Amino acid sequence: MKPVVLVTRKLPEAVEDRLRRDYQPRLNPDDRLYSRDALIEAAAGADAIIPCHTERFSAEVIARLPASVRIIANFSVGYDHVDVEAAKGRGLVVTNTPEVLSDATAELTILLMLGAARRAGEGERLVRTRAWRDWSPSFMVGTQVSGKRLGIVGLGRVGRVTARRARGFDMEIHYHDLQRLPSDLEAGAIYHPTPEDLMPHCDFLAFHCVATPQTRKMLNSDRIALLPPGAIVVNASRGAVIDDEALIAALKSGKVAADGLDVYNNEPDIHPEYRELPNTFLMPHIGSATKETRDAMGFRALDNLDAFFAGREPKDRVA
């Protein structure tokens, strides 16, 4: 008997084809968002769940899951939406999908940098609304990216790809991480042992760290004050690393010239002032949204399921 797998969102066709071949999937062709109670009800009799970051597995939800569920194979690299300690306590295996989305997320980070620096959101609105009237030397002047200093918080897989791409703009790379990387991984990047040490060297500041209690609101008013005037902030990691009120105040004052965001606190119900400010370049959490990457994420999740049901240790186990 093939294991029953609850799939909480619509996945790429190639991934769903493999699910149909190897499992008994409960698919979500309408891509509806499950409520907490509906998720628990849908999991009845399931052996596994493939969720996305849109489903939250709190300690309460995990306690209410049917006893048949033995593994949560996330379709995401982040797993802060799962209470891993509660999962461990119940004996649930939890996996994620690292490595496969580094290129796509780094590409999106570069887009955020360019979009924020060159006022792309403002410019597109001018063209679309027929508000563009003429040209002048003072019209739509932004910030040049080439040759500037890029500070990266979290020089992991995604951060290192972002750094490589940014070097194509002759940017000088600075970074903060929990510990200094070996020189071959640094590739010339300059290490700073604390966020406070990093901030003064950031004409651009990019976040590529996971969401933990330690990184929550890492970018706060005190650290923003340490940035050079007119710095640009981009985030394609997790919304929780930014104190929204502090960043919005800095955007209003001009201390931060612009921001480029793909992730938010409480998304999609983001802080409303981000939408109102002219110097924000906003994307709807699409860092991994390429066909190649979404297929690879699904296959990675299924590789973890295959290993688990074959009695092997899943490669990407996080709990």
Same domain, 217 and 125: yes
pTM (2 decimals)?
Answer: 0.93
Same domain, 217 and 138: yes
* C-alpha to C-alpha distances, 165 to 108, 117, 139, 176, 242, nearest whole angstrom: 11, 16, 29, 18, 24
Reply yes or no on whether 285 is catalytic. yes
Same domain, 275 and 149: yes
Q: Which one, of 75, 71, 73, lies nearest residue 101 by Cα?
A: 75
Q: Would residue 152 count as lying in a domain? A: yes
Alpha carbons 310 and 319: distance in angstroms, whole number: 18
Q: Would residue 319 count as lying in a domain? A: no
Same domain, 39 and 109: no
Strand partners of residue 144:
none
- Which residues are CB-neighbours of 314 under 8 A, at least 6 positions away? 71, 73, 93, 95, 303, 304, 305, 307, 308
Instruction: Kindly provide the b/e burial profile for residues 259-284, where b requires at least 16 CB atoms within 10 angstroms of the residue's own CB.
Output: bbbbbbbeeeebbeebeeeebbbbbe
Q: Which one, of 80, 91, 103, lies nearest residue 287 by Cα?
A: 103
Stretches where the chain sits below pLDDT 50 are none
Q: Would residue 200 count as lying in a domain? A: yes
Alpha helices (runs of H) in 92-187, residue ranges in sequence order: 102-117, 120-128, 157-167, 183-186
Say which DSSP state 201 is in: G
Q: Would residue 151 count as lying in a domain? A: yes
- Residue 275: the pLDDT is 97
Q: Check which CATH number belongs to the domain holding 242 and give it.
A: 3.40.50.720
- Which residues are CB-neighbours of 59 under 8 A, at least 6 positions away? 83, 85, 86
Task: Select which of 267, 271, 273, 317 is catalytic.
Answer: 267
Q: In sequence order, what E strands does the chain have?
A: 4-7, 24-26, 48-50, 71-73, 93-95, 149-153, 172-176, 190-191, 204-207, 231-235, 256-261, 280-282
Same domain, 29 and 57: yes
Output phi, psi for 170, to 5 deg. 60, 35
- Residue 197: the pLDDT is 98
Same domain, 235 and 95: no
Task: Select which of 53, 149, 238, 300 is catalytic.
Answer: 238
Number of domains in the chain: 2
Q: Would residue 316 count as lying in a domain? A: no
Same domain, 270 and 300: no
Reply yes or no on whether 275 is catalytic. no
What tens digit of pLDDT does each residue of 91-141 get?
999 999 999 999 999 999 999 999 999 999 999 999 999 999 999 999 999
Q: Would residue 37 count as lying in a domain? A: yes
Reply yes or no on whether 201 is catalytic. no
Task: Select which of 149, 174, 192, 285 is catalytic.
Answer: 285
Same domain, 95 and 128: no
Q: Which residues span the domain enclosing 60?
A: 4-100+291-309
Q: Would residue 317 count as lying in a domain? A: no
288 in Cβ contact with 101 (< 8 Å): yes
- Residue 211: the pLDDT is 87
- Report the relative pairing of strands 71-73 and 93-95 from DSSP bridges: parallel
- Residue 38: the pLDDT is 97
Q: Would residue 182 count as lying in a domain? A: yes
* C-alpha to C-alpha distances, 101 to 105, 112, 151, 158, nearest whole angstrom: 6, 16, 21, 8
The letter for the amino acid at 220 is N
Alpha carbons 200 and 9: distance in angstroms, whole number: 42
C-alpha angle with apex 231: 249 to 101, nearest 5 degrees? 100
* C-alpha to C-alpha distances, 142 to 99, 114, 139, 172, 290, nearest whole angstrom: 34, 10, 9, 20, 28
Same domain, 93 and 197: no
Same domain, 197 and 299: no
Same domain, 156 and 276: yes
Strand partners of residue 204:
150, 232
* C-alpha to C-alpha distances, 244 to 28, 250, 291, nearest whole angstrom: 33, 10, 31
Same domain, 184 and 303: no
C-alpha angle with apex 151: 150 to 155, nearest 5 degrees? 115
3-class secondary structure, 60: helix
